[in-house]
Copies of this chain bind each other. A is one copy, B any other.
Amino acid sequence: MGEKYQALVERLKEIRNVDRAAAVLHWDQQVNMPRGGARGRAAQLATLSRIAHELLISDETARLIADAETEVGSADYDSVEASMLRVAKRDFRKSTCVPSSLVAELAEAETLAHEVWAEARAQDNFGKFLPALQRILDLKRREAEFRGYSEHPYDAFLDDYEPGMTASRVKKLFDAHKGELVSLVAAIKERGDGVSDALLRQTYDIDKQRAFGEQMVRAYGYDFERGRQDVAVHPFCITFSQGDVRITTRYNSDYLNPALFGTMHESGHAMYEQGVDPALEGTPLSRGTSLGVHESQSRLWENFVGRSRPFWTWAYPQLQSTFPDQLGGVDVETFYRAINRVAPSFVRVEADEATYNLHIMVRFEIELDLVTGAVPLEKLPQLWNEKFESYLGIVPPSDKLGVLQDVHWSSGLIGYFPTYAIGNLLTAQFYRQALAAHPFIPDEIAQGKFDTLREWMRANIYQHGRKFTADELTQRLTGEPVECSYFITYLQEKYRDIYG
């Protein structure tokens, strides 16, 4: 490619550098920042956000895109150059419709709301969070109007995380497996509670939990020379460069699951980001293509691998020797059943595989109302609890375990939740393809070998970064769009085996 294309890439890298600097500030805010730093940090993030936005929407960027187009011309659709131009045009189009002032207002409101939410959650006080949430929603509604949408304002946000997805497509996908999930959970409930997870709820030393979790994800292939793990209230994965992809987790000294499976989960996100083709580094193509595809990878390593029988054939003796007092007398089968116990619970991030998508359906339906303003905010806890009871059969005893549990709304992440459920569906779809290509993968996993699986994912998904959309990638890999039947089949087979 010639100079014009290079000039565009340089510009895009410059913008990405500002975004990644902001990512460092976000990470620090959630991992390290003292309380007194909130106001200053909000101002810094607002400035960076405004600068990145203005650089992107500038006439100069428009001109660079137009110039590069004359060079890239009819380059192969799959080429880096054609892909770069497609993505640059899409990002430019999305950003130019929202005024910089609104972008800066949102960034500042979100930073402050995050602090308020953390306090409100700690104090179990939804009322404290309400004004900050109201402010976020007011700004997001204005954003949706600037963005434009054909059917529902929610589509404007969904498109950010899952390009091409719409509220009606999500609704159809959810309707297609909601009944099956409810039946499955009901059938398991009928079997009574033959599976106990009490053994997971003993005292587990936090330093040992951390060491074991890091040992597992290092074996998966998460590269600690190009990342690190820290503690945060709400676990996340964040990328500063291909050489610095960090994960966070939270530890519970009397429950083994959150940190262990949380670490595996975030390592899936991180391996995706670490696995992008180095030739794409620093450009807008160097990251996962959609949150749904991203989640397919976190769920792959957390559940399809990390909660599988072959995995624990290899890992369980190591866990036993790490916690001999707690697990010395527990056999692997009992442990396997414990970590796969199905039981409706309050906290999404700790939900089992069978109930998880039901948690998402609660949030999705509430978000549709939040966006249109169809429900007064003070009724939100009540609405949450009603829906929760109707889908999962239980009522949260506090807002801390209910409507206040997730960080997303305080961070302006409306339309984000459905991508978790889509991710679950895609995991089953992608894993089925990997197994078709390499049927011996489960045997390798039972020996602590993860290279074949990870390299298949890297070659078929990770390396492409954002070159292809989620729909394109799914169609290419599986011959069809995202589909729920494989996930349901996976769940039915797994739980038939466990619950009989």
User: Counting CB contacts under 8 A, is A151 at the interface?
Assistant: no
- In the complex, the chain B residue whose C-beta lies closest to that of A48 is B21
Interface string of A87-124 (1 = CB under 8 A from B): 00000000000000000000000000000000000000
Interface string of A34-48 (1 = CB under 8 A from B): 111111110110111
Cβ–Cβ contact A47 & B21, under 8 A: yes
Supply 5 A–B pairs (Cβ within 8 Å), ascending by A: A21-B47, A27-B28, A36-B241, A37-B243, A38-B243
Q: Which residues of chain B come closer than 8 Å to A46, judged between CB atoms?
A: 17
User: Counting CB contacts under 8 A, is A20 at the interface?
Assistant: yes
Which secondary structure characterizes the binding site on chain A? helix
Cβ–Cβ contact A18 & B47, under 8 A: yes
- In the complex, the chain B residue whose C-beta lies closest to that of A241 is B40
Q: Which residues of chain B come closer than 8 Å to A437, judged between CB atoms?
A: none
Cβ–Cβ contact A44 & B21, under 8 A: yes
Given contacts A240-B41, A282-B43, contact A225 B18 (CB under 8 A): no
- In the complex, the chain B residue whose C-beta lies closest to that of A226 is B36
Partner of A244, one of B21, B40, B48, B223: B40
Given contacts A13-B43, A20-B40, A41-B241, contact A225 B25 (CB under 8 A): no
- In the complex, the chain B residue whose C-beta lies closest to that of A227 is B34
A42 to B: closest C-beta gap in Å:
10
Given contacts A28-B28, A34-B228, A35-B225, contact A44 B14 (CB under 8 A): no
User: Counting CB contacts under 8 A, is A51 at the interface?
Assistant: yes
Cβ–Cβ contact A47 & B14, under 8 A: yes
Partner of A44, one of B43, B227, B240: B240
Q: Which residues of chain B come closer than 8 Å to A24, judged between CB atoms?
A: 24-25, 28, 44
User: Counting CB contacts under 8 A, is A22 at the interface?
Assistant: yes
Cβ–Cβ contact B13 & A225, under 8 A: no
User: Counting CB contacts under 8 A, is A345 at the interface?
Assistant: no
Cβ–Cβ contact A244 & B17, under 8 A: no
> Which of A32, A36, A225: most chain B CB closer than 10 A?
A36
Cβ–Cβ contact B225 & A17, under 8 A: no
Which residues of chain A in 1-20 are interfacial with respect to chain B, using CB atoms and an 8 Å cutoff? 13-14, 17-18, 20
A227 to B33, CA, bound (A): 8
User: Counting CB contacts under 8 A, is A77 at the interface?
Assistant: no
Q: Which residues of chain B come closer than 8 Å to A18, judged between CB atoms?
A: 44, 47-48, 51
A18 to B244, CA, bound (A): 21
Given contacts A21-B21, A28-B24, contact A226 B37 (CB under 8 A): yes
Interface string of A214-249 (1 = CB under 8 A from B): 000000000111111010000000001111100000
- In the complex, the chain B residue whose C-beta lies closest to that of A50 is B14
Q: Which residues of chain B come closer than 8 Å to A40, judged between CB atoms?
A: 20, 240-244, 281-282
The copy count of this chain in the complex is: 2
Q: Which residues of chain B come closer than 8 Å to A32, judged between CB atoms?
A: 228, 230
Partner of A43, one of B17, B36, B48, B230: B17
Q: Which residues of chain B come closer than 8 Å to A243, judged between CB atoms?
A: 34-40
Q: Which residues of chain B come closer than 8 Å to A282, judged between CB atoms?
A: 40, 43
- In the complex, the chain B residue whose C-beta lies closest to that of A17 is B47
Q: Which 6 A-B pairs have the closest CB atoms?
A: A40-B241, A37-B244, A36-B243, A36-B226, A17-B47, A17-B44
A46 to B: closest C-beta gap in Å:
8
Cβ–Cβ contact A21 & B25, under 8 A: yes
Q: Which residues of chain B come closer than 8 Å to A281, judged between CB atoms?
A: 40
- In the complex, the chain B residue whose C-beta lies closest to that of A28 is B24
Cβ–Cβ contact A244 & B34, under 8 A: yes
- In the complex, the chain B residue whose C-beta lies closest to that of A22 is B21
A468 to B423, CA, bound (A): 59
A366 to B: closest C-beta gap in Å:
34
- In the complex, the chain B residue whose C-beta lies closest to that of A230 is B32
- In the complex, the chain B residue whose C-beta lies closest to that of A23 is B44
A214 to B: closest C-beta gap in Å:
13
Cβ–Cβ contact A34 & B224, under 8 A: yes
A51 to B226, CA, bound (A): 27
Cβ–Cβ contact A244 & B41, under 8 A: yes
Q: Which residues of chain B come closer than 8 Å to A224, judged between CB atoms?
A: 34
Q: A21-B22, A36-B244 are in contact. List 13 more A-B contacts (CB 8 A).
A: A17-B47, A18-B48, A20-B44, A24-B24, A24-B28, A27-B28, A32-B230, A34-B244, A36-B223, A39-B241, A40-B282, A41-B241, A41-B244
Q: Which residues of chain B come closer than 8 Å to A39, judged between CB atoms?
A: 241, 243
> Which of A18, A37, A51: most chain B CB closer than 10 A?
A37
Cβ–Cβ contact B34 & A225, under 8 A: yes
A195 to B: closest C-beta gap in Å:
39
Q: Which residues of chain B come closer than 8 Å to A228, judged between CB atoms?
A: 32, 34
A205 to B: closest C-beta gap in Å:
16
